[in-house]
Chains A and B, each alone.
Chain A
Amino acid sequence: MADAEFVVVRDLRKVFNGHTAVDGVSFTIERGEIFGLLGPNGAGKTTTIRMMSTTLPISAGDVTVAGHSVRRKPAAVRRHIGVCPQELALYLELTALDNLVFFGRMRGLSRREAAAQAMENLELVGLTDRARQPVAKFSGGMKRRVNLAIALMNRPELLFLDEPTVGVDPQSRNHIFDTIEGLRDGGMTVLYTTHYMEEADRLCRRIAIMDGGRVIALDTPHNLKARYGDPERVTLEDVFLRLTGRRLRDAG
């Protein structure tokens, strides 16, 4: 499997009770890049991620991660991936450290390995000094950083980040960006979804713009903007407007 095809999504489809949420999505992700899924609420980003990360059954099509098919080898895929879900998925009553150690143990780490990895991850997201406080006492941004740190407990090669900055203060947002770029520099591959175009513009090497369950454009931010004029002046917001006739923020 070539690094250019580290992740291959082929004609992926999801139908919920007759409603098609993801409608034939295809793209590939290169090893080591931050790949963006940009689209308004309801575009199908989360549904795509849930299928790619083995937690939602695929209606049609398939995904391979490092050559392993999600449909046929979900256990092999799980070993390569970490998922930071859109909604906080952790135990608010427990401390940050307890949360990380617990998920580390679910990943098959021994208590000691999990504790060491947890401290490393807390350092990475800048929460070392809050390690032993219940997550319930954290600000929204800090909770999101714990949510992210949990996804890194198995040192994944491929990280799914589903709108990690929603409801986050600017300080935490910058911290999250720095963390993601640091991970990318360390060789991690990232699938990043957002409905904030500036984020996608800043972080992602390539972007798939999604709307109504389909990918309506896929390229680097520069090339996407260059389609409609001077890339220094055109924004991704303009690109979305030209593609759909709607504004990104109003859509959905």
Chain B
Amino acid sequence: MSPGPLARPLALAGKELKLFFRDHQALLFSLALPLVLVFLMVGTFGGQAAFHATAYFVNLDSGPAGAELARRLDALPEITVKVLEAQDAERRLAASDVVNVIVVGEGFSEDLAAGRTPPVTVRQRGNGGTEGQIVNSYAAAVIREMMGERQVARRVADVLAGAGLPAPPGEIETRVAALFNEARAHPPVHVVEEAVGARSEPVAIFLPGLVTMFTLFAISLGAAVLVEERKKGTLERLMATGLSRGELLAGTWLGTFGRGLFQVAFLFALAWAGFRIFTPATFGSVLAFGVVAVAAVSAVSLVIASLARTADQAIWIAVFTTMVMSVLGGSFFDSSALKGPAAVLARLTYNHWANDGLRRIITRGEPLASPGVLTDILVLGGIALVSAAVAAAVFRVRGDEK
């Protein structure tokens, strides 16, 4: 009649997940929190690591080329052009409102057409800042390109004239420009940027701590499960069905684990969508590591659930445990940098090992099978097993008997 030894724990866990998904407040919280965190990170660090800057631009050119330069610069994905009046630009430079302005001189079109170096001045405070210097080099590149096009057009005109084949005015320039446009649209070399190994973006540095903190919520969420069951009277009812203590604890652990994993996977997926910091392979690695970390933290939660006799006790023990582990083991600081007794204490916490592994995988790009990550996985697995054993030892079904 009994459909397998895991049937009852699985049904218990399924019931916990159903309760979780029915509890819209809890669900909203556990989904909204990662959303808020990721949005905060996007706001703070920017969604993409790519460079972007504004080029302040004063156009004194009497011909059309100055405007063309502004247009071409603006067309670059890295640059947004903001055209200013000369006086306005000076005022804003004086006020340090802007630190770098590109000024195109009056004879720009004329000099460009004649093959002379055109008059372009960069007005800047100090060295114009890193961003200003990058903007300047983009501008210089576009100007060189424009000069090159004019030069090619002039050569072609000279050759045709030498061969006695005069072309209609403007024809050569139009055709040359078309050729250059085509070349730009189909560059011979296409550069794709890919992150390799250690990553320095703030996201990659903060995410491990964030995930560790987040998994710690599983402690509080799971800590009150058995107390709730007791309060509802369902614990006694469950035990009267013939459910064993082991099955009850396994099912409770599995429920907390399932909920925690759902939340962590959601956070990883959001971080991926928001920052593209994973590849499918590294996503698989962090997820696999997440499974082990959540397993460990759910077992810690089970110990508290087994000890607590009231909801208040459960909450306070959970909060206390979470805080002590955060202080000793670190979440936002790297506890592997600690020395002496502090380093020893840190190694006693879940945080230390979860953080270390996530940092290795996310920040340093280490594979799952590297010795460092494997050590973390083994220790977390050990924490899960020891905690489960402790929970089984301390749990008493009958809380009403002193």
Contact = CB atoms under 8 A, between A and B. Distances in A.
Contacts of A94: 15, 18-19, 22
A89 B22 contact: no
B236 A103 contact: no
B11 A55 contact: no
Interface string A95-136: 000100011011111100000000000000000000000100
Contacts of B11: 102, 105-106
Contacts of B239: 55
B242 A107 contact: yes
A10 B53 CA distance: 89
Contacts of B243: 106
Contacts of A89: 232-234, 236-237
B53 to A, nearest CB: 53
Interface residues of B, number: 28
Nearest to A110: B3
Interface string A238-249: 000000000000
Interface stretch (A35-43, A78-86, A191-199): A78-86
Given A91-B15, A102-B15, A107 B401 contact: no
B342 interface: no
A150 B19 CA distance: 18
> Chain A at the B interface: mostly helix, strand, loop or mixed?
loop
A91 to B, nearest CB: 6
B232 A55 contact: no
Contacts of A78: 240-242
Given A57-B398, A57-B401, A93-B19, A109 B1 contact: yes
A90 B234 contact: yes
Contacts of B236: 50, 55, 85, 89
A165 interface: no
Contact of A150 (B12, B15, B237, B401): B237
Contacts of B14: 102
B22 A134 contact: yes
A75 interface: yes
Interface string A57-84: 1000000000000000001001101010
A234 B270 CA distance: 74
A53 interface: yes
Contacts of A103: 237, 241
Given A55-B240, A106-B238, A88 B15 contact: no
Nearest to A150: B237
Contact of A83 (B7, B22, B240): B240
A54 interface: yes
Contact of B233 (A53, A85, A107, A134): A85
Contacts of A102: 11, 14-15
Residue from A85, A98, A106 having most chain B Cβ neighbours under 10 A: A106
B8 interface: yes
Interface string B367-398: 00000000000000000000000000000001
B194 interface: no
Contacts of B8: 105-106, 108
Contacts of A16: 401
A108 B398 contact: no
A87 interface: yes
B2 interface: yes
A134 B398 CA distance: 29
B402 interface: yes
B88 interface: no
Contacts of A79: 242
Interface of A: 16-17, 50, 53-57, 75, 78-79, 81, 83, 85, 87-91, 93-94, 98, 102-103, 105-110, 134, 150, 154
11 contacts: A16-B401, A17-B402, A54-B240, A78-B240, A83-B237, A91-B232, A93-B22, A102-B11, A106-B12, A106-B238, A106-B241
The 6 closest A-B pairs by CB, nearest first: A89-B233, A105-B11, A89-B237, A106-B241, A108-B2, A78-B242
